[in-house]
Amino acid sequence: MKLAAGILFVAALFLPSYSKWEEQEDNMFTIYLNGENVGVVGEESQAEELLQAVRRELVSDSDELVFMDVDMNLEGAAVLWGKVDDTQEIKNRMREVLESNIKKTMHRSYVVKVNNYMVNLASREQVVELLQTAVNQYDTEDKYQVELMHEDSREFDVLTAVITDTSKEEAKEQSADSIPEIRGGVEAAFGEVLTDVEPDREKDFGDYKLGLTDMSFAEEVEIVEAYLDVTQLTSLEQAIEEVIKEQEVNAVYEVVAGDTLSEIAIKVNIPMDQIVAMNDALETVNTTIRVGQELIITIPEPELSVDRQVTMYYEEIYDAPIIYRDRDDWYTTQTRTIQEPSAGFRRVVAIVSYRNDQETGREILKEVVESEAVAKIVERGTIVPPSYITPISGGKQSSGFGRRNAPKKGASSYHKGVDWAVPTGTAVVASCGGTVVKAGWSSGYGYCVYINHPDGRQTRYAHLSKVLVSVGQTVSQGQRIALSGNTGVSTGPHLHFEMLINGSQVNPLPYLDK
Protein backbone atom coordinates (compact mmCIF):
# COMPACT_ATOMS: atom_id res chain seq x y z
CA MET A 1 0.00 0.00 0.00
CA LYS A 2 2.84 2.34 0.84
CA LEU A 3 4.51 1.55 -2.53
CA ALA A 4 1.32 2.22 -4.48
CA ALA A 5 0.75 5.53 -2.72
CA GLY A 6 4.28 6.59 -3.46
CA ILE A 7 3.93 5.80 -7.16
CA LEU A 8 0.73 7.87 -7.43
CA PHE A 9 2.39 10.78 -5.66
CA VAL A 10 5.40 10.75 -8.04
CA ALA A 11 3.17 10.39 -11.13
CA ALA A 12 1.06 13.36 -10.14
CA LEU A 13 4.11 15.58 -9.70
CA PHE A 14 6.47 14.50 -12.50
CA LEU A 15 4.33 13.20 -15.44
CA PRO A 16 2.71 16.32 -17.14
CA SER A 17 1.00 14.27 -19.88
CA TYR A 18 -1.54 13.12 -17.31
CA SER A 19 -4.23 15.48 -16.01
CA LYS A 20 -4.60 16.18 -12.35
CA TRP A 21 -7.84 15.06 -10.98
CA GLU A 22 -10.16 17.82 -9.96
CA GLU A 23 -13.37 16.96 -8.21
CA GLN A 24 -16.63 17.73 -10.11
CA GLU A 25 -14.87 19.68 -13.01
CA ASP A 26 -14.01 18.59 -16.55
CA ASN A 27 -10.29 18.08 -16.78
CA MET A 28 -9.94 16.34 -20.18
CA PHE A 29 -11.36 17.63 -23.47
CA THR A 30 -11.75 15.75 -26.74
CA ILE A 31 -11.48 18.11 -29.74
CA TYR A 32 -13.84 17.67 -32.69
CA LEU A 33 -12.92 19.80 -35.72
CA ASN A 34 -15.55 19.80 -38.48
CA GLY A 35 -16.90 16.62 -36.90
CA GLU A 36 -13.58 14.78 -36.80
CA ASN A 37 -11.72 13.77 -33.62
CA VAL A 38 -8.29 15.41 -33.72
CA GLY A 39 -7.06 14.79 -30.15
CA VAL A 40 -7.40 15.28 -26.43
CA VAL A 41 -6.16 18.22 -24.33
CA GLY A 42 -6.29 19.05 -20.65
CA GLU A 43 -7.64 22.63 -20.95
CA GLU A 44 -10.24 24.32 -23.17
CA SER A 45 -7.96 27.29 -23.88
CA GLN A 46 -5.26 24.99 -25.18
CA ALA A 47 -7.58 23.72 -27.93
CA GLU A 48 -8.30 27.29 -29.09
CA GLU A 49 -4.60 28.17 -29.03
CA LEU A 50 -3.72 25.13 -31.15
CA LEU A 51 -6.44 25.95 -33.71
CA GLN A 52 -5.27 29.56 -34.05
CA ALA A 53 -1.67 28.42 -34.46
CA VAL A 54 -2.63 26.03 -37.28
CA ARG A 55 -4.69 28.71 -39.05
CA ARG A 56 -1.78 31.15 -38.88
CA GLU A 57 0.52 28.52 -40.41
CA LEU A 58 -1.89 27.88 -43.27
CA VAL A 59 -2.19 31.60 -44.05
CA SER A 60 1.57 32.20 -43.77
CA ASP A 61 2.17 29.58 -46.45
CA SER A 62 0.37 31.79 -49.02
CA ASP A 63 0.10 35.48 -49.89
CA GLU A 64 -3.54 34.97 -50.72
CA LEU A 65 -6.75 35.06 -48.70
CA VAL A 66 -7.86 31.53 -47.75
CA PHE A 67 -11.48 30.72 -46.92
CA MET A 68 -12.28 27.43 -45.13
CA ASP A 69 -14.99 25.78 -43.02
CA VAL A 70 -14.00 25.82 -39.31
CA ASP A 71 -16.33 24.31 -36.70
CA MET A 72 -14.62 23.21 -33.46
CA ASN A 73 -16.45 21.52 -30.58
CA LEU A 74 -15.04 20.25 -27.26
CA GLU A 75 -16.36 17.26 -25.33
CA GLY A 76 -15.27 17.56 -21.69
CA ALA A 77 -14.93 14.82 -19.06
CA ALA A 78 -13.92 14.67 -15.39
CA VAL A 79 -11.49 11.77 -15.03
CA LEU A 80 -9.18 10.52 -12.36
CA TRP A 81 -6.80 8.91 -14.73
CA GLY A 82 -6.46 9.85 -18.47
CA LYS A 83 -3.95 10.53 -21.21
CA VAL A 84 -3.74 13.74 -23.35
CA ASP A 85 -2.26 13.82 -26.90
CA ASP A 86 0.97 15.38 -28.03
CA THR A 87 0.32 18.99 -29.13
CA GLN A 88 2.23 18.61 -32.42
CA GLU A 89 0.18 15.55 -33.33
CA ILE A 90 -3.02 17.48 -32.60
CA LYS A 91 -1.83 20.35 -34.81
CA ASN A 92 -0.97 17.96 -37.65
CA ARG A 93 -4.46 16.43 -37.52
CA MET A 94 -6.04 19.91 -37.39
CA ARG A 95 -4.05 20.95 -40.44
CA GLU A 96 -5.21 17.88 -42.40
CA VAL A 97 -8.85 18.60 -41.56
CA LEU A 98 -8.63 22.31 -42.43
CA GLU A 99 -6.78 21.71 -45.70
CA SER A 100 -9.47 19.27 -46.79
CA ASN A 101 -12.12 21.89 -46.01
CA ILE A 102 -10.60 24.88 -47.82
CA LYS A 103 -13.43 26.44 -49.82
CA LYS A 104 -11.69 29.03 -51.92
CA THR A 105 -8.41 30.88 -52.25
CA MET A 106 -8.68 34.60 -53.00
CA HIS A 107 -5.60 35.84 -54.85
CA ARG A 108 -3.96 39.14 -54.08
CA SER A 109 -4.70 41.02 -57.28
CA TYR A 110 -4.62 44.50 -58.78
CA VAL A 111 -7.56 46.30 -60.36
CA VAL A 112 -6.47 48.77 -63.06
CA LYS A 113 -8.99 51.52 -63.84
CA VAL A 114 -8.78 53.84 -66.86
CA ASN A 115 -11.88 56.03 -67.21
CA ASN A 116 -14.76 53.52 -67.36
CA TYR A 117 -12.53 50.58 -68.30
CA MET A 118 -11.32 48.14 -65.61
CA VAL A 119 -9.16 45.04 -65.78
CA ASN A 120 -8.01 42.65 -63.01
CA LEU A 121 -4.41 41.44 -63.09
CA ALA A 122 -2.65 38.84 -60.96
CA SER A 123 0.40 40.84 -59.87
CA ARG A 124 1.95 44.27 -59.61
CA GLU A 125 4.54 43.19 -62.18
CA GLN A 126 1.78 42.50 -64.69
CA VAL A 127 0.32 45.97 -64.09
CA VAL A 128 3.68 47.59 -64.85
CA GLU A 129 4.18 45.41 -67.94
CA LEU A 130 0.72 46.30 -69.25
CA LEU A 131 1.32 50.04 -68.90
CA GLN A 132 4.89 49.77 -70.17
CA THR A 133 3.58 48.11 -73.35
CA ALA A 134 1.51 51.25 -74.06
CA VAL A 135 4.61 53.40 -73.58
CA ASN A 136 6.93 51.19 -75.65
CA GLN A 137 4.81 51.76 -78.77
CA TYR A 138 6.31 55.24 -79.01
CA ASP A 139 9.56 55.01 -76.99
CA THR A 140 12.06 53.50 -79.43
CA GLU A 141 15.04 54.45 -77.23
CA ASP A 142 13.81 52.79 -74.02
CA LYS A 143 14.18 56.09 -72.15
CA TYR A 144 10.87 56.04 -70.32
CA GLN A 145 9.74 53.68 -67.59
CA VAL A 146 6.40 53.26 -65.81
CA GLU A 147 6.38 53.62 -62.03
CA LEU A 148 3.53 53.02 -59.59
CA MET A 149 3.22 55.72 -56.95
CA HIS A 150 1.08 55.93 -53.81
CA GLU A 151 -1.62 58.60 -53.95
CA ASP A 152 -1.30 60.18 -50.51
CA SER A 153 -4.33 62.43 -50.94
CA ARG A 154 -6.70 59.47 -51.31
CA GLU A 155 -8.52 57.94 -48.36
CA PHE A 156 -7.90 54.41 -49.61
CA ASP A 157 -4.63 52.82 -50.66
CA VAL A 158 -4.63 53.80 -54.34
CA LEU A 159 -1.68 53.66 -56.71
CA THR A 160 -1.26 55.91 -59.72
CA ALA A 161 0.94 55.35 -62.76
CA VAL A 162 3.55 57.88 -63.90
CA ILE A 163 6.06 57.81 -66.74
CA THR A 164 9.60 58.82 -65.78
CA ASP A 165 12.52 59.76 -68.01
CA THR A 166 15.34 57.45 -66.90
CA SER A 167 17.97 59.53 -68.72
CA LYS A 168 17.11 62.57 -66.58
CA GLU A 169 17.29 60.49 -63.40
CA GLU A 170 20.73 59.21 -64.40
CA ALA A 171 21.88 62.77 -65.14
CA LYS A 172 20.73 63.88 -61.67
CA GLU A 173 22.66 61.07 -60.03
CA GLN A 174 25.82 61.91 -61.95
CA SER A 175 25.44 65.58 -61.07
CA ALA A 176 25.04 64.72 -57.38
CA ASP A 177 28.18 62.54 -57.47
CA SER A 178 30.35 65.15 -59.26
CA ILE A 179 32.57 67.54 -57.27
CA PRO A 180 31.95 71.18 -58.19
CA GLU A 181 34.94 73.22 -59.37
CA ILE A 182 35.96 75.80 -56.75
CA ARG A 183 37.53 79.01 -57.95
CA GLY A 184 38.45 82.00 -55.89
CA GLY A 185 40.16 85.34 -55.90
CA VAL A 186 41.12 86.88 -59.22
CA GLU A 187 40.17 83.74 -61.16
CA ALA A 188 36.61 83.84 -59.84
CA ALA A 189 36.22 87.56 -60.48
CA PHE A 190 37.65 87.25 -64.00
CA GLY A 191 35.23 84.43 -64.75
CA GLU A 192 32.26 86.53 -63.64
CA VAL A 193 33.38 89.42 -65.87
CA LEU A 194 33.61 87.10 -68.88
CA THR A 195 30.15 85.74 -68.12
CA ASP A 196 28.68 89.24 -68.00
CA VAL A 197 30.42 90.39 -71.18
CA GLU A 198 29.78 87.33 -73.34
CA PRO A 199 26.46 87.90 -75.16
CA ASP A 200 23.80 85.24 -75.49
CA ARG A 201 24.16 83.45 -78.81
CA GLU A 202 21.10 82.49 -80.81
CA LYS A 203 20.80 78.75 -81.08
CA ASP A 204 21.66 77.13 -84.37
CA PHE A 205 19.81 74.09 -85.71
CA GLY A 206 22.57 71.81 -84.47
CA ASP A 207 22.17 73.06 -80.89
CA TYR A 208 18.78 71.44 -80.43
CA LYS A 209 18.52 67.95 -79.05
CA LEU A 210 16.07 66.14 -81.29
CA GLY A 211 13.82 63.23 -80.40
CA LEU A 212 11.32 62.28 -77.73
CA THR A 213 11.36 64.81 -74.90
CA ASP A 214 8.32 64.04 -72.73
CA MET A 215 5.67 61.35 -72.20
CA SER A 216 2.62 60.98 -69.98
CA PHE A 217 -0.66 59.09 -69.86
CA ALA A 218 -3.60 61.08 -71.21
CA GLU A 219 -6.01 59.49 -68.74
CA GLU A 220 -5.65 59.05 -65.01
CA VAL A 221 -4.62 55.49 -64.23
CA GLU A 222 -5.68 54.14 -60.83
CA ILE A 223 -4.53 50.82 -59.37
CA VAL A 224 -6.18 49.29 -56.32
CA GLU A 225 -5.09 46.13 -54.50
CA ALA A 226 -7.86 43.56 -54.07
CA TYR A 227 -8.40 39.90 -53.27
CA LEU A 228 -10.19 38.15 -56.12
CA ASP A 229 -11.06 34.67 -57.21
CA VAL A 230 -8.88 33.32 -60.02
CA THR A 231 -11.88 33.26 -62.38
CA GLN A 232 -12.07 37.06 -62.13
CA LEU A 233 -8.50 37.62 -63.35
CA THR A 234 -7.59 38.59 -66.92
CA SER A 235 -4.47 37.27 -68.58
CA LEU A 236 -1.76 39.81 -69.36
CA GLU A 237 -1.99 39.06 -73.10
CA GLN A 238 -5.74 39.74 -73.17
CA ALA A 239 -5.36 42.88 -71.06
CA ILE A 240 -2.74 44.25 -73.48
CA GLU A 241 -5.05 43.52 -76.41
CA GLU A 242 -7.96 45.33 -74.74
CA VAL A 243 -5.99 48.35 -73.52
CA ILE A 244 -3.76 48.94 -76.54
CA LYS A 245 -6.21 48.10 -79.34
CA GLU A 246 -7.84 51.16 -80.87
CA GLN A 247 -11.59 51.52 -80.38
CA GLU A 248 -13.81 53.71 -82.54
CA VAL A 249 -14.96 56.77 -80.57
CA ASN A 250 -17.37 59.46 -81.78
CA ALA A 251 -16.03 63.01 -81.73
CA VAL A 252 -17.37 66.38 -82.89
CA TYR A 253 -15.80 68.57 -85.58
CA GLU A 254 -16.92 72.20 -85.78
CA VAL A 255 -16.94 73.68 -89.28
CA VAL A 256 -14.74 76.78 -89.62
CA ALA A 257 -14.60 79.45 -92.33
CA GLY A 258 -13.16 78.14 -95.57
CA ASP A 259 -13.97 74.48 -94.80
CA THR A 260 -15.34 72.16 -97.44
CA LEU A 261 -16.40 68.57 -96.88
CA SER A 262 -13.44 67.33 -98.89
CA GLU A 263 -11.00 69.41 -96.81
CA ILE A 264 -12.57 68.14 -93.57
CA ALA A 265 -12.22 64.56 -94.83
CA ILE A 266 -8.50 65.15 -95.37
CA LYS A 267 -8.10 66.81 -91.94
CA VAL A 268 -9.73 63.99 -89.98
CA ASN A 269 -8.58 61.22 -92.33
CA ILE A 270 -12.10 59.88 -92.89
CA PRO A 271 -13.68 59.38 -96.38
CA MET A 272 -16.38 61.89 -97.31
CA ASP A 273 -19.06 59.25 -97.84
CA GLN A 274 -18.38 57.90 -94.34
CA ILE A 275 -18.80 61.41 -92.84
CA VAL A 276 -22.11 61.75 -94.76
CA ALA A 277 -23.29 58.38 -93.41
CA MET A 278 -22.59 59.47 -89.81
CA ASN A 279 -24.45 62.80 -90.09
CA ASP A 280 -28.20 62.97 -90.79
CA ALA A 281 -27.84 66.63 -91.80
CA LEU A 282 -25.71 65.60 -94.79
CA GLU A 283 -27.63 63.97 -97.64
CA THR A 284 -24.79 63.78 -100.15
CA VAL A 285 -21.16 64.84 -100.44
CA ASN A 286 -22.45 67.98 -102.16
CA THR A 287 -24.62 69.10 -99.22
CA THR A 288 -23.83 72.66 -98.17
CA ILE A 289 -22.14 73.02 -94.77
CA ARG A 290 -22.19 76.15 -92.61
CA VAL A 291 -19.64 77.80 -90.34
CA GLY A 292 -20.23 76.63 -86.76
CA GLN A 293 -22.02 73.46 -87.85
CA GLU A 294 -21.03 70.43 -85.78
CA LEU A 295 -20.28 67.18 -87.57
CA ILE A 296 -19.98 63.76 -85.95
CA ILE A 297 -16.73 62.03 -86.87
CA THR A 298 -15.41 58.66 -85.73
CA ILE A 299 -11.81 58.52 -84.59
CA PRO A 300 -9.84 55.46 -83.43
CA GLU A 301 -8.66 55.65 -79.82
CA PRO A 302 -7.31 52.99 -77.43
CA GLU A 303 -8.60 52.63 -73.87
CA LEU A 304 -5.30 54.13 -72.62
CA SER A 305 -3.81 57.01 -74.60
CA VAL A 306 -0.25 58.30 -74.41
CA ASP A 307 0.65 61.98 -74.77
CA ARG A 308 4.14 62.72 -76.00
CA GLN A 309 6.28 65.57 -77.28
CA VAL A 310 8.92 65.19 -79.97
CA THR A 311 11.51 67.83 -80.91
CA MET A 312 12.11 67.55 -84.65
CA TYR A 313 13.88 69.31 -87.50
CA TYR A 314 12.20 69.48 -90.90
CA GLU A 315 12.23 71.39 -94.17
CA GLU A 316 8.93 72.15 -95.84
CA ILE A 317 7.07 73.98 -98.51
CA TYR A 318 4.43 75.93 -96.62
CA ASP A 319 1.41 78.13 -97.26
CA ALA A 320 0.72 81.38 -95.47
CA PRO A 321 -2.60 81.56 -93.58
CA ILE A 322 -5.49 82.84 -95.68
CA ILE A 323 -6.28 86.51 -95.05
CA TYR A 324 -10.01 87.20 -94.95
CA ARG A 325 -11.53 90.63 -95.52
CA ASP A 326 -15.13 90.86 -94.36
CA ARG A 327 -17.82 92.50 -96.50
CA ASP A 328 -20.82 93.54 -94.49
CA ASP A 329 -22.92 93.98 -97.64
CA TRP A 330 -22.43 90.36 -98.78
CA TYR A 331 -23.95 87.08 -97.66
CA THR A 332 -21.69 84.49 -96.08
CA THR A 333 -22.17 82.37 -99.20
CA GLN A 334 -20.41 85.02 -101.29
CA THR A 335 -16.62 85.08 -101.58
CA ARG A 336 -14.07 86.56 -103.95
CA THR A 337 -10.32 85.93 -104.16
CA ILE A 338 -8.42 89.18 -104.68
CA GLN A 339 -4.89 87.76 -104.32
CA GLU A 340 -3.74 84.27 -105.31
CA PRO A 341 -1.34 82.49 -102.93
CA SER A 342 2.26 81.46 -103.50
CA ALA A 343 3.97 78.76 -101.40
CA GLY A 344 7.17 79.45 -99.44
CA PHE A 345 10.07 77.30 -98.21
CA ARG A 346 11.43 77.14 -94.67
CA ARG A 347 13.61 75.16 -92.26
CA VAL A 348 12.14 74.52 -88.82
CA VAL A 349 12.85 73.05 -85.40
CA ALA A 350 9.59 72.47 -83.55
CA ILE A 351 8.13 70.62 -80.58
CA VAL A 352 5.31 68.48 -81.99
CA SER A 353 2.72 67.15 -79.52
CA TYR A 354 0.91 63.88 -80.14
CA ARG A 355 -1.85 61.87 -78.53
CA ASN A 356 -1.12 58.37 -79.70
CA ASP A 357 -0.52 58.88 -83.44
CA GLN A 358 -2.61 62.04 -83.81
CA GLU A 359 -0.86 65.41 -83.78
CA THR A 360 -2.42 67.75 -81.21
CA GLY A 361 -0.14 70.79 -81.36
CA ARG A 362 3.05 72.29 -82.73
CA GLU A 363 5.37 74.89 -81.17
CA ILE A 364 8.07 76.31 -83.46
CA LEU A 365 11.37 76.85 -81.63
CA LYS A 366 13.45 78.06 -84.58
CA GLU A 367 12.45 78.99 -88.11
CA VAL A 368 14.52 80.15 -91.07
CA VAL A 369 12.45 81.20 -94.09
CA GLU A 370 14.35 80.68 -97.32
CA SER A 371 11.45 81.84 -99.48
CA GLU A 372 8.53 83.86 -98.08
CA ALA A 373 5.01 82.57 -98.76
CA VAL A 374 2.42 84.91 -100.24
CA ALA A 375 -0.95 84.71 -98.53
CA LYS A 376 -4.23 84.18 -100.30
CA ILE A 377 -6.56 87.15 -99.72
CA VAL A 378 -10.29 86.47 -99.82
CA GLU A 379 -13.24 88.80 -99.45
CA ARG A 380 -16.21 87.17 -97.75
CA GLY A 381 -19.69 88.19 -96.70
CA THR A 382 -20.87 88.49 -93.11
CA ILE A 383 -24.66 88.43 -93.57
CA VAL A 384 -26.25 85.08 -92.78
CA PRO A 385 -28.22 84.07 -95.91
CA PRO A 386 -31.93 83.35 -95.73
CA SER A 387 -33.14 79.79 -95.24
CA TYR A 388 -35.37 77.73 -97.53
CA ILE A 389 -38.18 75.34 -96.60
CA THR A 390 -40.12 72.68 -98.50
CA PRO A 391 -42.84 74.60 -100.38
CA ILE A 392 -45.57 72.02 -99.81
CA SER A 393 -46.83 69.94 -96.90
CA GLY A 394 -47.13 66.21 -97.41
CA GLY A 395 -47.10 64.62 -100.83
CA LYS A 396 -44.72 62.09 -102.30
CA GLN A 397 -41.65 62.92 -104.36
CA SER A 398 -42.47 61.63 -107.82
CA SER A 399 -39.47 62.90 -109.79
CA GLY A 400 -36.00 64.03 -108.77
CA PHE A 401 -33.51 66.45 -110.24
CA GLY A 402 -31.46 65.43 -113.28
CA ARG A 403 -31.59 63.13 -116.31
CA ARG A 404 -34.71 61.00 -116.79
CA ASN A 405 -36.94 59.42 -119.42
CA ALA A 406 -39.43 61.98 -120.69
CA PRO A 407 -42.78 61.09 -119.02
CA LYS A 408 -44.79 62.33 -122.07
CA LYS A 409 -44.38 64.02 -125.39
CA GLY A 410 -43.17 67.60 -124.99
CA ALA A 411 -41.62 66.96 -121.57
CA SER A 412 -37.86 67.42 -121.04
CA SER A 413 -35.55 64.40 -120.57
CA TYR A 414 -33.49 66.48 -118.14
CA HIS A 415 -35.57 67.42 -115.13
CA LYS A 416 -34.59 70.85 -113.79
CA GLY A 417 -36.47 70.62 -110.51
CA VAL A 418 -38.19 68.30 -108.04
CA ASP A 419 -41.80 67.08 -108.26
CA TRP A 420 -44.13 66.18 -105.40
CA ALA A 421 -47.37 64.36 -106.27
CA VAL A 422 -50.23 66.06 -104.35
CA PRO A 423 -53.97 66.51 -104.92
CA THR A 424 -55.07 69.53 -106.94
CA GLY A 425 -55.70 72.49 -104.65
CA THR A 426 -52.97 71.71 -102.10
CA ALA A 427 -51.51 74.93 -100.62
CA VAL A 428 -48.11 76.01 -102.02
CA VAL A 429 -46.00 78.34 -99.82
CA ALA A 430 -42.95 80.53 -100.49
CA SER A 431 -39.81 78.53 -99.75
CA CYS A 432 -38.11 81.81 -98.75
CA GLY A 433 -39.12 85.42 -98.43
CA GLY A 434 -38.64 87.66 -101.51
CA THR A 435 -40.25 89.52 -104.40
CA VAL A 436 -42.60 87.95 -106.96
CA VAL A 437 -41.22 88.53 -110.49
CA LYS A 438 -43.60 86.26 -112.45
CA ALA A 439 -47.14 85.17 -111.65
CA GLY A 440 -49.25 83.65 -114.44
CA TRP A 441 -49.20 81.36 -117.47
CA SER A 442 -45.92 80.06 -118.94
CA SER A 443 -46.54 77.49 -121.71
CA GLY A 444 -45.10 74.13 -120.55
CA TYR A 445 -45.08 75.23 -116.88
CA GLY A 446 -48.78 76.08 -116.98
CA TYR A 447 -49.64 78.49 -114.20
CA CYS A 448 -46.46 79.38 -112.29
CA VAL A 449 -44.84 81.76 -109.79
CA TYR A 450 -41.20 83.00 -109.80
CA ILE A 451 -39.74 84.62 -106.66
CA ASN A 452 -36.41 86.47 -106.40
CA HIS A 453 -34.72 86.22 -102.98
CA PRO A 454 -32.30 88.60 -101.19
CA ASP A 455 -29.33 86.24 -101.62
CA GLY A 456 -29.63 86.36 -105.41
CA ARG A 457 -31.36 83.02 -105.78
CA GLN A 458 -34.69 82.43 -107.50
CA THR A 459 -37.36 79.78 -106.84
CA ARG A 460 -40.03 78.64 -109.31
CA TYR A 461 -43.36 76.89 -108.63
CA ALA A 462 -45.11 75.32 -111.67
CA HIS A 463 -48.22 73.38 -112.89
CA LEU A 464 -50.40 75.34 -110.46
CA SER A 465 -54.22 75.40 -110.52
CA LYS A 466 -54.45 78.91 -109.05
CA VAL A 467 -52.02 81.81 -108.45
CA LEU A 468 -52.59 83.82 -105.24
CA VAL A 469 -49.92 86.56 -105.64
CA SER A 470 -49.03 89.21 -108.21
CA VAL A 471 -45.82 90.54 -109.78
CA GLY A 472 -43.98 93.01 -107.53
CA GLN A 473 -45.58 91.69 -104.38
CA THR A 474 -43.27 91.01 -101.40
CA VAL A 475 -43.90 87.66 -99.73
CA SER A 476 -42.57 86.11 -96.53
CA GLN A 477 -41.29 82.60 -95.96
CA GLY A 478 -44.19 80.15 -95.52
CA GLN A 479 -46.80 82.53 -97.02
CA ARG A 480 -49.40 80.90 -99.34
CA ILE A 481 -48.66 81.89 -102.94
CA ALA A 482 -50.65 79.34 -104.99
CA LEU A 483 -52.59 76.09 -105.17
CA SER A 484 -51.13 73.00 -106.80
CA GLY A 485 -52.60 71.65 -110.02
CA ASN A 486 -52.06 69.85 -113.32
CA THR A 487 -51.65 72.68 -115.85
CA GLY A 488 -49.11 72.87 -118.69
CA VAL A 489 -47.14 69.81 -119.78
CA SER A 490 -48.01 67.53 -116.87
CA THR A 491 -48.84 63.85 -116.34
CA GLY A 492 -50.95 64.37 -113.21
CA PRO A 493 -51.59 66.66 -110.23
CA HIS A 494 -48.30 67.69 -108.68
CA LEU A 495 -46.03 70.62 -107.75
CA HIS A 496 -42.87 71.26 -109.78
CA PHE A 497 -40.25 73.20 -107.73
CA GLU A 498 -37.00 74.74 -108.99
CA MET A 499 -34.12 76.71 -107.50
CA LEU A 500 -31.76 78.85 -109.60
CA ILE A 501 -28.33 80.08 -108.46
CA ASN A 502 -26.57 82.56 -110.74
CA GLY A 503 -29.27 81.86 -113.31
CA SER A 504 -28.82 78.09 -113.47
CA GLN A 505 -31.07 75.40 -112.05
CA VAL A 506 -29.60 73.33 -109.20
CA ASN A 507 -30.93 70.42 -107.16
CA PRO A 508 -32.96 72.29 -104.50
CA LEU A 509 -33.11 69.48 -101.92
CA PRO A 510 -29.66 70.09 -100.31
CA TYR A 511 -30.64 73.73 -99.69
CA LEU A 512 -33.90 73.00 -97.87
CA ASP A 513 -34.04 73.04 -94.08
CA LYS A 514 -35.29 69.76 -92.69
Model pLDDT, residue 327: 93
Q: H or E stretch including 303? A: none
- Yes or no: say if 217 and 304 are a contact pair by the CB < 8 Å rule: yes
Distances (CA, A) of 150 to 107, 224, 228, 285, 359: 21, 10, 21, 52, 31
Query: Could you give the domains of the chain?
Result: 2-100 (no CATH), 109-175+206-243 (no CATH), 309-385 (2.20.230), 396-511 (2.70.70.10)
Q: How far apart are CA 30 and CA 316, in angstroms?
A: 92
Using only the alpha carbons of the chain, give its radius of gyration: 44
Report the distance separating Cα 461 and Cα 438, nearest Å: 10
Give pLDDT, residue 347: 96
The structure's pTM equals 0.50
Q: Which of 481, 472, 474, 394 is nearest to 431 (CA)?
A: 481
Q: What is the pLDDT of residue 21?
A: 46
pLDDT tens for the 514 residues of the chain, in order: 777 766 666 565 555 554 454 455 888 899 998 889 999 998 889 999 999 998 888 777 666 566 677 889 999 888 877 788 999 999 999 988 888 877 666 678 999 999 888 999 999 999 999 999 999 999 988 899 999 988 766 656 789 999 999 887 666 666 655 555 555 555 555 555 545 555 667 889 999 999 999 999 999 999 998 888 888 899 999 999 988 887 667 788 888 877 888 888 888 888 888 899 889 888 888 888 888 899 988 877 888 999 999 999 999 999 999 999 999 988 887 889 999 999 999 999 999 999 998 888 999 999 999 999 999 999 998 888 889 999 999 888 888 888 766 555 555 567 889 999 999 999 999 999 999 999 999 988 999 999 999 888 999 999 999 999 999 999 999 999 999 999 998 889 999 999 999 899 999 998 898 6
Separation CA 184–CA 42 (nearest Å): 85
SS3 annotation, 79-98 = CCCCECCCHHHHHHHHHHHH
The per-residue pLDDT for 222 is 92
Q: Which residues pair with 312 in a beta bridge?
A: 350
> What HEC string does 11-52 produce?
HHHHCCCECCCCCCCCCEEEEEECCEEEEEECCHHHHHHHHH
Sign of the alpha-carbon dihedral angle for 478, 482, 487, 489: negative
Predicted local distance difference test score (pLDDT) of residue 37: 93
**Number of other residues whose CB lies within 10 A of the CB of residue 94:** 26
Let me know: does 91 contact 28? Beta carbons within 8 Å.
Answer: no
